[in-house]
Amino acid sequence: MAGNSFGRIFRITTFGESHGKAVGVVLDGVPSKIPISEDEIQRELDRRKPGQSELTTPRSEDDKVEILSGVFDGMTTGTPICMVVYNKNQKSKDYDAVKNLFRPGHADYTYQMKYGIRDYRGGGRSSSRETIGRVCAGAIAKKILKKYNIEIFGYVKQVGYVKGEKLVKDFIENNPVRMGDPEKYKEAYDLILDVKSRGDSVGALVEIIVSGVPVGLGEPVFDRLNAEIGKAILSIPAVKGIEFGAGFSVVEHFGSINNDEITPYGFMTNNAGGTLGGISSGQDIVFRFAVKPPSSILIEKNTIDIMGNPKKIVTEGRHDPCVAPRVVPIAEAMTSIVIVDFMMINKRLEL
Amino acid sequence: MAGNSFGRIFRITTFGESHGKAVGVVLDGVPSKIPISEDEIQRELDRRKPGQSELTTPRSEDDKVEILSGVFDGMTTGTPICMVVYNKNQKSKDYDAVKNLFRPGHADYTYQMKYGIRDYRGGGRSSSRETIGRVCAGAIAKKILKKYNIEIFGYVKQVGYVKGEKLVKDFIENNPVRMGDPEKYKEAYDLILDVKSRGDSVGALVEIIVSGVPVGLGEPVFDRLNAEIGKAILSIPAVKGIEFGAGFSVVEHFGSINNDEITPYGFMTNNAGGTLGGISSGQDIVFRFAVKPPSSILIEKNTIDIMGNPKKIVTEGRHDPCVAPRVVPIAEAMTSIVIVDFMMINKRLEL
Amino acid sequence: MAGNSFGRIFRITTFGESHGKAVGVVLDGVPSKIPISEDEIQRELDRRKPGQSELTTPRSEDDKVEILSGVFDGMTTGTPICMVVYNKNQKSKDYDAVKNLFRPGHADYTYQMKYGIRDYRGGGRSSSRETIGRVCAGAIAKKILKKYNIEIFGYVKQVGYVKGEKLVKDFIENNPVRMGDPEKYKEAYDLILDVKSRGDSVGALVEIIVSGVPVGLGEPVFDRLNAEIGKAILSIPAVKGIEFGAGFSVVEHFGSINNDEITPYGFMTNNAGGTLGGISSGQDIVFRFAVKPPSSILIEKNTIDIMGNPKKIVTEGRHDPCVAPRVVPIAEAMTSIVIVDFMMINKRLEL
Amino acid sequence: MAGNSFGRIFRITTFGESHGKAVGVVLDGVPSKIPISEDEIQRELDRRKPGQSELTTPRSEDDKVEILSGVFDGMTTGTPICMVVYNKNQKSKDYDAVKNLFRPGHADYTYQMKYGIRDYRGGGRSSSRETIGRVCAGAIAKKILKKYNIEIFGYVKQVGYVKGEKLVKDFIENNPVRMGDPEKYKEAYDLILDVKSRGDSVGALVEIIVSGVPVGLGEPVFDRLNAEIGKAILSIPAVKGIEFGAGFSVVEHFGSINNDEITPYGFMTNNAGGTLGGISSGQDIVFRFAVKPPSSILIEKNTIDIMGNPKKIVTEGRHDPCVAPRVVPIAEAMTSIVIVDFMMINKRLEL
Consult the annotation and say whether C318 binds a ligand: yes
Residues 6+ apart with CB under 8 A from D230: C227, C230, C231, C234, C242, D242
Do D344 and A343 lie within an 8 Å CB cutoff?
no
Q: What's the alpha-carbon Rg for chain B, to the nearest Å? A: 21
Q: What is the pLDDT of residues D319-350, one digit of tens each?
A: 899 999 999 999 999 999 999 999 999 876 55
**What does the DSSP 8-state code read for residue A220?**
T
D275 CB neighbours in chain C (<8 A) are: 110
C-contacting residues in A 73-112 (Cβ below 8 Å)? 73, 75, 77-82, 84
Rounded to the nearest angstrom, the minimum Cα separation between A348 and chain D is: 7
Low-confidence stretches of chain A (pLDDT beneath 70): 51, 56-61, 89-94, 317-318, 348-351
Q: How confident is the model at residue B276 (pLDDT cuts 50, 70, 90)?
A: very high
pLDDT of D209 over the 70 cut: yes
C347 CB neighbours in chain B (<8 A) are: 344, 347-349
Contact D246, D258 (CB under 8 A): yes
pLDDT at D283: 98
pLDDT at C61: 56
Do D72 and B119 lie within an 8 Å CB cutoff?
yes
Q: What is the pLDDT of residues D131-184, one digit of tens each?
A: 999 999 999 999 999 999 999 999 999 999 999 999 999 999 999 999 999 999
pLDDT at B270: 98
Residue type present at position D337:
I
B345 CB neighbours in chain C (<8 A) are: 9
Q: How confident is the model at residue C97 (pLDDT cuts 50, 70, 90)?
A: confident
A275 CB neighbours in chain B (<8 A) are: 110
Consult the annotation and say whether A277 binds a ligand: yes
List subunits contacting chain C, requiring 3 or more Cβ pairs under 8 Å: A, B, D
Interface predicted TM-score (ipTM) over 0.95? yes
- Tell which residue, A32, A282, A326, has the closest CA to residue A173: A326
Backbone angles phi, psi at D332, to 5 degrees: -60, -40
CA atoms within 13 A of residue A279's CA, in its CB half-sphere: 24
List subunits contacting chain D, requiring 3 or more Cβ pairs under 8 Å: A, B, C
Q: What is the pLDDT of residues D52-90, one digit of tens each?
A: 777 766 555 578 999 999 999 999 999 999 999 999 866
How many Cβ pairs within 8 Å bridge chains A and B? 342
A-contacting residues in C 13-42 (Cβ below 8 Å)? 13-17, 20-24, 26, 28-33
Do B349 and C349 lie within an 8 Å CB cutoff?
no
Burial level of A166, CB count in 10 A (0-12/13-18/19+)? exposed
Q: What is the pLDDT of residues C52-79, one digit of tens each?
A: 777 766 555 578 999 999 999 999 999 9
**What does the DSSP 8-state code read for residue B214?**
P
- Helix spans in chain A (H): 38-48, 108-115, 131-147, 169-172, 182-197, 225-234, 255-258, 324-346
pLDDT at A57: 62
Strands (E), chain D: 5-6, 11-16, 22-28, 65-67, 71-72, 75-76, 81-86, 151-159, 162-163, 204-211, 239-244, 262-263, 266-267, 275-276, 279-280, 285-291, 301-304, 310-313
Query: B162 forms bridges with which residues in the sheet?
Result: B159
Round to whole Å and give the CA distance between D204 and B127. 49
pLDDT of C50 over the 80 cut: no
Q: What is the pLDDT of residues C315-325, one digit of tens each?
A: 876 789 999 99
pLDDT at D60: 56
How many CB atoms are located within 10 Å of the residue B107 CB? 27
List subunits contacting chain B, requiring 3 or more Cβ pairs under 8 Å: A, C, D
- Rounded to a whole number, what is the distance in angstroms from the first to the last CA of chain D? 39
Which of B8, B33, B348 lies closest to C347 in CB terms?
A: B348
Residues 6+ apart with CB under 8 A from B107: A220, A276, A277, A278, A279, B123, B126
Check CB contact of B242 with chain A, cutoff 8 Å: yes
Chain A residue with Cα closest to D32 = A351
Do C243 and D247 lie within an 8 Å CB cutoff?
no
CA B195 to each of CA A253, A323, B54, B185, B240: distance values in angstroms, whole numbers, following the listed order: 11, 42, 13, 15, 20
Burial level of B96, CB count in 10 A (0-12/13-18/19+)? exposed
| B88-100 mean pLDDT | 74
pLDDT at D96: 78
Do C255 and D200 lie within an 8 Å CB cutoff?
yes
Residue type present at position A95:
Y
Chain C residue with Cα closest to B340 = C349
Q: What is the pLDDT of residues D249-295, one digit of tens each?
A: 999 999 999 999 999 999 999 999 999 999 999 999 999 999 999 99
Rounded to the nearest angstrom, the minimum Cα separation between D268 and chain C is: 9
How many CB atoms are located within 10 Å of the residue D100 CB? 15
Contact D223, D275 (CB under 8 A): no
Q: Domains of chain A, with CATH numbers?
A: 5-346 (3.60.150.10)
Check CB contact of D345 with chain B, cutoff 8 Å: no
